[in-house]
């Protein structure tokens, strides 16, 4: 029987429906690790132990990775384009690679087109140029400190003989150019002490729109609510996370709010986001800290944080998790879906010499492939890719559901422990209350530990005694049937003898194995119960027959 407790709680933009299930009971052996219960569909979970020395623990949600590489030398920068990637090498070669959906286990990306940019008179690539891709117009932009060029990705896809390149003359000359990002045909470029430049792509031209001056930004994240674009900027001068809003109709930027960090002399590293979940990385006293915030139009709410002494160079966020990019080992932080149960487990992903990482997203062209999985249960759409010192890499991932594992010791034999599982399935259900509804299940479990050695005698009885007893019982039944059949046959023989005695009138019964007439014909000297006349007729007939 299920006991349902419905509690509707406002948590940010979500509601939670709590459901308490019936209790579960288990018996497990000591001195053995037992995987007790897998929490399917649970996005996060918590195991509450009502014991001082609990022998069960929760293995939290985890990630399984599978990585492949393709060798290319001296890749400088890359950008994710529709169904593929564009990258440029230190010898000024521009490559367009398309993902090979049909053979991810082999060569995961195939060369579609390449061009030689040596004759364009670009700055030295030691200054780390940046490639941008404008998905709405299918255009690529190569940014450098003193300028930028625009080219058509469509021409590359069509394998044109010559690639038309346009020098963007409206680009402001800056002493330095930091992180530059594109969003809905707008270009936002951090330009050191000159603040932030805003451009808009119109046709094949880039037009300067506005500027945020008198400050210095390290990095930015961009999101849109209704018709308003929000810029979340790491303000190095103010030591704060500054939020600017841009009216997409009037194209006017204004300061919305500032979130001051209560630390002095920190150094911002990077920022990225998935929708309203913002991840900020900074260094403080040789420690690297990543903080997850929830952005609302009024404030930034801290949700989660992670600290390490291992260097973090960048952060890349997807719908499910964020990759904190290190040197060779990269930490994983799961995205918080609501302000409830936190996933404290931080898995690691290992890739030597990673330079850049980006998450794959399905375009409208390949949405039909979103349900496909390979032979190892990896979804076609769940992967990220990037560049390393050895070339391109491609990493598939899948989420491992949380599960409960128990390992009671010998001194805990015959002990009974009680736990409570709280799991969040985070299923979006359409209701009259609100579109976002979290299903949170609560289950009570009781676990009894037993010593297998103490139960060995009972196990022998169960596994050997019962089958042997059953065989003896069946053999007894067979012997009983055999003896009964013998008694029946004996009685039938006696009855037959009595009947024969009555029919012959003799004191001694004679048993014949063949019909009586045959015995009479073949034995004429045997005394017959018939008359002498009848006997003479029989012999005469036989003589005539012989003649």
Residues 140-189: pLDDT tens digits? Answer: 999 887 788 999 999 999 998 888 899 998 999 888 899 999 999 999 99
| 203-231: pLDDT as tens digits | 889 999 999 999 999 999 999 988 899 99
The pTM of this model reads: 0.74
DSSP assignment of 274-289 equals ETTEEEEEEEETTEEE
pLDDT at site 520: 38
- In the chain, where the domains are located: 9-61+410-450, 455-497, 512-547
Alpha carbon distance 108, 89 (integer Å): 19
| 4-47: pLDDT as tens digits | 333 333 334 455 566 667 788 999 998 888 988 888 767 678 88
Maximum C-alpha span of the chain: 153
| 274-293: pLDDT as tens digits | 999 999 999 999 999 999 99
Contact 78, 358 (CB under 8 A): yes
228 closest CA partner among 299, 296, 319: 296
**pLDDT value at 112 more than 90:** yes
Alpha carbon distance 93, 35 (integer Å): 52
C-alpha angle with apex 63: 271 to 403, nearest 5 degrees?
Answer: 125
Q: Report the percentage of the chain scoring pLDDT > 70.
A: 76
Which is more confidently placed, 50 or 452? 50
105 closest CA partner among 426, 396, 471: 396
pLDDT at site 119: 73
Write down the mean pLDDT value for the chain: 80
pLDDT interval class at 427 (50, 70, 90): low
| 290-327: pLDDT as tens digits | 999 999 988 999 999 999 999 999 999 998 899 999 98
pLDDT interval class at 535 (50, 70, 90): very low
**pLDDT value at 546 more than 50:** no
pLDDT at site 248: 77
Burial of 265 (0-12, 13-18, 19+ CB in 10 A): exposed
Q: Report the percentage of the chain scoring pLDDT > 90.
A: 39
Alpha carbon distance 153, 448 (integer Å): 64
**pLDDT value at 511 more than 50:** no
Place of tokens 């018939």: 530
């Amino acid at each position: 029987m299920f006991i349902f407790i419905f509690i509707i709680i406002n948590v940010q933009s979500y509601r939670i429906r709590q459901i308490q299930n019936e209790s579960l009971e288990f018996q497990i052996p000591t001195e053995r690790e037992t995987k007790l219960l897998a929490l399917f569909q649970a996005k996060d979970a918590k195991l509450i132990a009502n014991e001082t020395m609990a022998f069960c623990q929760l293995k939290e949600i985890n990630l399984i990775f599978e990585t492949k590489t393709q060798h290319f030398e001296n890749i400088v920068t890359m950008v994710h384009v529709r169904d593929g990637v564009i990258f440029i090498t230190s010898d000024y070669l521009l490559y367009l690679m398309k993902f090979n959906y049909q053979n991810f286990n082999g060569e995961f990306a195939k060369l579609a087109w390449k061009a030689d940019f040596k004759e364009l008179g670009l700055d030295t690539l030691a200054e780390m140029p940046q490639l941008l891709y404008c998905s709405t117009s299918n255009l690529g932009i190569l940014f450098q400190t003193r300028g930028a060029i625009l080219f058509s990705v469509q021409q590359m896809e069509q394998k044109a003989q010559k690639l038309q390149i346009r020098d963007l003359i409206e680009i402001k000359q800056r002493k330095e150019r930091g992180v530059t990002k594109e969003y809905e045909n707008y270009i936002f470029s951090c330009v050191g002490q000159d603040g932030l430049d805003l451009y808009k792509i119109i046709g094949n031209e880039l037009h300067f729109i506005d500027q945020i001056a008198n400050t210095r930004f390290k990095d930015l994240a961009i999101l849109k609510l209704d018709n308003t674009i929000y810029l979340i900027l790491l303000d190095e001068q103010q030591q704060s996370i500054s939020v600017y809003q841009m009216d997409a109709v009037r194209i006017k930027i204004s300061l919305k709010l500032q979130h001051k960090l209560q630390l002095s002399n920190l150094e911002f590293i990077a920022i990225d986001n998935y929708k309203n979940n913002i991840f900020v990385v900074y260094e403080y006293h040789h420690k690297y800290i990543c903080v997850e915030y929830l952005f609302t139009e009024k404030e930034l709410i801290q949700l989660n944080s992670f600290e390490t002494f291992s260097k973090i160079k960048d952060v890349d966020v997807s719908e499910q998790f964020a990759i904190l990019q290190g040197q060779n080992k990269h930490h994983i932080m799961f995205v918080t879906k609501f302000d409830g149960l936190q996933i404290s487990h931080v898995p690691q992903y290992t890739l030597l010499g990673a330079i850049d990482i980006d998450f794959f997203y399905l375009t409208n062209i390949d949405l039909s492939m979103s349900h496909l999985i390979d032979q190892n249960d990896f979804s076609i759409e769940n992967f990220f890719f990037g560049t390393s010192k050895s070339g391109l890499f491609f990493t598939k991932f899948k989420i491992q559901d949380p599960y409960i594992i128990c390992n009671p010791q010998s001194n805990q034999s015959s002990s009974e422990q009680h736990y409570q599982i709280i799991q969040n399935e985070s299923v979006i259900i359409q209701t009259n209350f609100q579109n976002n509804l979290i299903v949170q299940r609560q289950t009570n479990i009781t676990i009894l530990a037993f010593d297998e050695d103490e139960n060995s005698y009972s196990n022998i009885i169960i596994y050997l005694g019962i089958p042997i007893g059953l065989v003896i019982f069946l053999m007894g039944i067979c012997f009983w049937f055999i003896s009964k059949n013998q008694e029946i046959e004996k009685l039938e023989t006696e009855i037959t003898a009595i009947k024969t005695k009555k029919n012959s009138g003799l004191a001694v019964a004679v048993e014949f194995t063949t019909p009586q007439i045959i015995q009479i014909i073949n034995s004429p000297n045997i005394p017959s119960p018939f008359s002498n006349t009848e006997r003479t007729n029989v012999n005469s007939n036989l003589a005539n027959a012989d003649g």
